[in-house]
Amino acid sequence: MSVTIRDVARAASVSVATVSRVLNGKGPVRDETRRRIRRIARRLSYVPHGAARSLITKRTSTLGVLLPDLHGEFFSEVIRGMDVSARRHGFHLIVSSSHSDGRETEALLRAMRGRVDGLIVLSPDLGVRKLLSNRPAELPLVLLNCADHGSFDSIRIDNRGGALAMTRHLRSLGHRCIAFVGGPAGNHDASERRRGYREALRSAGSGRATGLELPGDFREESGYRAADEILRARPRPTAVFAANDAMAIGLLCAFRERRVQVPSEIALAGFDDIPIARFLTPALTSVRIPIFELGARAVERMLQLLTSGPVPATRAKESTLPTTLRIRRSCGAISGDRPGQDFSLERRREAR
C-alpha cells in the first residue's frame, strides 16, 4: 500500500497543508518543521502524486517533444541534449514521433493537451499553421528547423551555409563533377542543403552541368541505391555530397561492395556529423551540426518562456546555429589520420 501525504502529516504531527507547503516549496514553515517533514517523507519513501500536485502548482514539470522520427543517431543526440538540460532543471520529457504525417501530428498534439507545460517541435516537413490548428493557445511553443516560424520562438541550423561551404571545399580539391544525394521532398532542411549546393556550383561559374542531383530520403538505403546511378553516370562524378550522414554511410557501403575506393576513386562527404562519422573507415568528412546543443538550447529557451510567461509575437526570438566543416579522410583532403580523430577545416588551415 502506497504512502499518502496524510501518513506523512500524521507521522510529523502537522497538518496536511503544512506538508504540502514544504514539499511544494510554497508558504512559510519553520526551518525545524521543514527539516522534520522532509526527513519523515524520505523515511517513509513518500512520492508526491503527480496529478494532484499539478492541480496545485498548475505545472506538470514535463515538456512535450515532437520529432518527425526517432530513428538514427541524429534524433537520439537531439533527445540526449534535451534530456540532460531538462533533468538539470527538474523537468522530464514526453517524446513522440509524427513520422512527418500531418494527421499523426494533430493526434499527438491533442494527446499531449494538459500533460505538458510546453511543447518543442522539430518539424522540417510541416508548416506552422498545421501545428496551430490543434495546439492549445496557452501552451508555449519552441520550433526547431521549421520552414516558417510565424510568431514563435525558433532555433534553426545554417543548412544552406553548411552545404555551400562543403561544396566549395570539394571544388577546392579539384573536383569539377560533384554529385548530390538530396533529402525528402518538402523537407526544409533538405531544400536548404540543396540550395547551398546549387549556389556553390553557380558561384564557381560552372553552372549545373558539373552537378548530378539524385533523390534520397535521409536513410541509409537511399544512399546505397544512389551509388549505382552515380557510378553509371558519364562523366562520372569524382565526388559525392550526401545531404546527411546516414545516406553517406549507405553510399560508402555500396562503394565498398563494388570495390570503388574512397577517396582515391571517388570522394565522399556528408552532413550532420553524427557521432559515428569519425569512426568509419575511412572517417567521414561532414558538415558538423551542434546536435546536442540544438536539443539543449530548445529546452533552455522553453524554460525561459515558462518563467517569463507569454511573449508578444513581436518579441519572439529566432536564432541560427552555425555549422562547421569536419575534414577527414573520405574526401581525400588529408591522409594518415588516426581512427576517431576529429579534424576541422579551421585546424587544417592552421596546420599549413
Q: Which three cell numbers stand for residue 265?
A: 576513386
**238 or 210, which is more confident?**
238
- C-beta neighbour count of 330 within 10 angstroms: 26
pTM of the model: 0.76
Query: Does one domain contain both 145 and 168?
Result: no
Q: Is the CB of residue 163 less than 8 Å from the CB of residue 198?
A: no
| Pick from 5-14, 51-60, 90-99, 160-169: least confident | 51-60
pLDDT in the model for residue 310: 61
- pLDDT for position 51: 47
Range in 6-15, 140-149, 265-274, 329-338 the model is least confident about: 329-338
Cβ atoms of residues 231 and 257 within 8 Å: no
Domain that holds residue 72: 62-158+291-321
Mean pLDDT of 307-313: 66
Q: Give yes or no: residues 336 and 193 share one domain.
A: yes
Same domain, 188 and 137: no
Residue 122 and residue 96 in contact, taking contact as beta carbons nearer than 8 Å? no
Cβ pair 216, 172 in contact under 8 A: no
Per residue in 161-187, pLDDT tens?
999 999 999 999 999 899 999 999 888
Q: What percent of the chain has pLDDT over 90?
A: 49
Can you give the pLDDT at residue 324?
Answer: 95
- Output the pLDDT for position 114: 73
Statement to judge: residues 106 and 207 lie in one domain: no
SS3 at position 300: helix
Answer yes or no: is pLDDT of 215 > 90: yes
Q: How confident is the model at residue 98 (pLDDT cuts 50, 70, 90)?
A: confident
CATH code, 188: 3.40.50.2300
Decide if pLDDT at 317 tops 60: yes
> Are residues 149 and 285 both part of a single domain?
no
Same domain, 344 and 264: yes
Q: Which residues pair with 156 in a beta bridge?
A: 320
Do residues 300 and 120 lie in contact, with contact meaning Cβ atoms separated by under 8 Å?
no
Average pLDDT across the chain, whole number: 83
Question: Quick one: 192 and 218 in the same domain?
Answer: yes
100-139 pLDDT, tens digit per residue, is 666 777 777 777 777 888 889 887 665 555 565 556 667 7
| Alpha carbon distance 79, 90 (integer Å) | 16
Quick one: 170 and 276 in the same domain? Answer: yes
**Burial status of residue 64 (CB atoms within 10 A of its CB: 0-12, 13-18, 19 or more):** buried
19 and 132 fall within a common domain:
no
CA distance 295 to 219: 21
**89 vs 69 pLDDT, higher one:** 89
Q: Give the pLDDT of residue 340.
A: 46
Find out whether 248 and 282 touch, Cβ atoms under 8 Å: no
- What are the beta bridge partners of residue 118? 63
Q: Please tell me whether residues 119 and 263 are part of one structural domain.
A: no
260-306 per-position pLDDT tens digit:
999 999 999 999 999 999 999 999 999 999 999 999 999 999 999 88
Lowest mean pLDDT among 36-50, 53-67, 231-245, 333-347: 333-347
What average pLDDT does the segment 82-104 reach?
A: 83
> Where residue 350 falls among pLDDT bands split at 50, 70, 90?
very low
Structure-model confidence comparison of residues 188 and 288, the more confident one:
288
Residue 142 CA to chain centroid, in angstroms? Answer: 13
Task: Report the CATH number at residue 47.
Answer: 1.10.260.40
Q: What is the pLDDT of residue 169?
A: 95
Strand positions, DSSP E, the chain: 62-67, 92-97, 118-122, 141-144, 153-157, 178-181, 211-214, 239-242, 267-272, 285-288, 318-321, 324-326
Residue 223 CB: number of other CB atoms within 10 A?
Answer: 29
Q: Are residues 80 and 173 in the same domain?
A: no
pLDDT of residue 144: 87
- What pLDDT is stored for residue 314 in this prediction? 52
Q: Please determine, for residue 248, whether its predicted confidence score (pLDDT) is greater than 60.
A: yes
What does DSSP say about strands 153-157 and 141-144: parallel, antiparallel, or unpaired? parallel
* pLDDT at residue 55, as a whole number: 43
Q: How far apart, in whole angstroms, are the C-alpha atoms of residue 193 and residue 244?
A: 9
Rounded distance, CA 217 to CA 331, Å?
22
Residue 292 has a pLDDT of: 94
Peptide bond before 263: cis, by omega within 30 degrees of 0? yes
Per-residue pLDDT band at 349 (split at 50, 70, 90):
very low
Closest C-alpha to 116, from 32, 58, 74: 58
- How far apart CA 79 and CA 299 sit, in angstroms, is 10
pLDDT of the residue at 145: 81
| Domain tally, the chain | 3
C-beta neighbour count of 311 within 10 angstroms: 15
Q: What is d(CA 205, CA 226) in angstroms, rounded to the nearest whole number?
A: 26
| Cell digits of residue 22 | 514544504
Higher pLDDT, 210 or 206: 210
